[in-house]
Amino acid sequence: MRAIRQLETNSPVLVDEVSEPILKDGDVLVRIEAAGVLSYHKDVLVGRLGYALPENPFTPGNDGVGIVEATGKTVVHVSVGDRVAIDPRIFARENVSEPDGMLLALTGLTSGAVEVQKLWPDGTWAEKVAVPSENVTKLPTIAGMDGVGWSRLHKFAVCYGGLSRAQLAGGDTVAVLGATGNFGSPAVPLSLAMGASKVIALGRNESVLDKLSQLSPRVFPVKLMGDPETDIAELRKIVPGGIDLGIDLIGQAKDSSGIQAVIGGLRNGGRVAIQGSMDVPLELPYNSIMARDIAIVGAFMYPRDTFRKLGVLVESGALDLDCVEVNTFPLEEINKAMQRAAEIRGLGHVVLTP
């Protein structure tokens, strides 16, 4: 079968003929219809980000959608012919407090992740991939929805984790920090789909903010000014009593002004989920947080049932995946795909179609 291979770190990837994956008892073999390309995938593969990649050579690609072609002996609830979404978080199966794990063909997550990477070294940038059965979710059958269409579901997974961790409930007002970024933008339509009454999109890219405002009259774009008091005042104009929930999805933030504004804009008893990253220490108004009963929670990625829950939202019509623009590339155009993924902002998505 054809697959993209990384032979050496900081060397160009190439398309090669490789053997089909060996199926272990608890695995499923998936024929890939669409495999996601991250905005920072090229930086990962050249070693710029210091990720703990599998041992070379390997096939990159950490998520995807495809059709199950075979199942291992111990697989019960997944069948040949199922269309499934692939969750890249693979962990050792033993019942221990901190199991070793990885993000498929992207990075180890724990000190002992190398042992897990040896078991499943190759990712989704190939015609087929073998993954543990617990890492796939059967998708609903919807007329006209193919694998490329369903691949847009992955765009919403991370922000679903943060919104659910912060306990978004119907009628809540939500502020999305980093709403113009690749991870933050899908939190706007997803908040609407999960029942938010108002969604405040906080960001600096005015073009993306304008597009988000067109999703619904319940979306209120706010350009961040970088001064917490100014930004808090804008939040309070939209929701005078304070917002119910905030979610921070800014990556590599250079200062804490944005999250300070969101915390300052919360109502008493408000919640905020932290899912981004920051290059500086987080300064918090300790006394105010205590006195106003503010809850701050960290959220790394998402719960195991995320793709099932998102599938229900799509099937019910609550979440319209058409808000995401898909860019498709064949395996042979992987370099163009990585370049495009690095360029797009907002509700754009890049996939390979083997």
Q: What is the mean pLDDT of residues 62-83?
A: 98
Per the DSSP assignment, residues forming a β-bridge with 130 are 29
Residues 287, 149 within the same domain: no
Helix (H/G/I), strand (E/B), else coil: 85: strand
pLDDT score recorded for residue 9: 82
Q: Which domain holds residue 31?
A: 2-154+322-352
Q: Which residues contact 17 (CB under 8 A, 6 or more apart)?
A: 1, 2, 3
Residue 127 and residue 25 share a domain: yes
Asked whether residue 64 is assigned to any structural domain, the reply reads: yes
pLDDT one-digit tens code per residue, 161-212: 999 999 999 999 999 999 999 999 999 999 999 999 999 999 999 999 999 9
Kindly state whether residue 201 falls inside one of the protein's structural domains.
yes
Beta bridge partner(s), residue 81? none
- What CATH number is given to the structural domain containing 43? 3.90.180.10
In a domain, 342, yes or no: yes
Residues 338 and 196 in one domain: no
Residues 171 and 148 in one domain: no
pLDDT at 147 over 80: yes
Is there a single domain that holds both residue 142 and residue 186? no
Here the CATH number for the domain that contains residue 183 is 3.40.50.720
Count the domains in the chain: 2
Angle at CA 164, nearest 5°, toward 105 and 130?
Answer: 25
pTM equals: 0.95
Question: Which of 224, 237, 232, 241 minimizes the C-alpha distance to 172?
Answer: 241
Express as a percent the part of the chain with pLDDT over 90.
95
Mean pLDDT of 304-324: 98
Checking if the pLDDT of 60 tops 90, the result is yes
- Are 136 and 194 part of one and the same domain? no
Looking at every residue in the chain, the average pLDDT score rounds to 96
Q: With contact defined as beta carbons under 8 Å apart, do 86 and 65 qualify? A: yes
Do 116 and 247 have their domain in common?
no
Residues 135 and 227 grouped into a single domain: no
Q: If we measure between CA atoms, which residue out of 277, 240, 235 comes closest to residue 256?
A: 277
Rg of the chain over Cα atoms, rounded to whole angstroms, equals 20
Instruction: Answer yes or no: do 205 and 289 share one domain.
Output: yes
Average pLDDT of 21-38? Answer: 97
Is 109 within the bounds of a domain?
A: yes
Residue 216 has pLDDT above 80, yes or no: yes
Written as six digits, the tokens of 19 are: 């053997």
Residue 99 lies in a domain: yes
Is the pLDDT assigned to residue 11 strictly greater than 90? no
Per-residue three-class SS string for 136-205: EEECCCCCCCCHHHHHHHHHHHHHHHHHHHCCCCCCCEEEEECCCCCCCCCHHHHHHHCCCCEEEEEECC
How far apart (Å, rounded) are the C-alpha atoms in residues 279 and 307?
30
Q: What residue ranges in 6-73 does DSSP mark as E strands? A: 14-17, 27-36, 64-71
Is there a single domain that holds both residue 132 and residue 49?
yes
Q: What is the pLDDT of residue 12?
A: 86
Same domain flag for 93 and 16: yes
Q: In this predicted structure, what is the pLDDT of residue 81?
A: 98
Residues 88 and 33 in one domain: yes
- Write the pLDDT tens digit of every residue in 94-132: 999 999 999 999 999 999 999 999 999 999 999 999 999
User: So what's the pLDDT on residue 129?
Assistant: 99
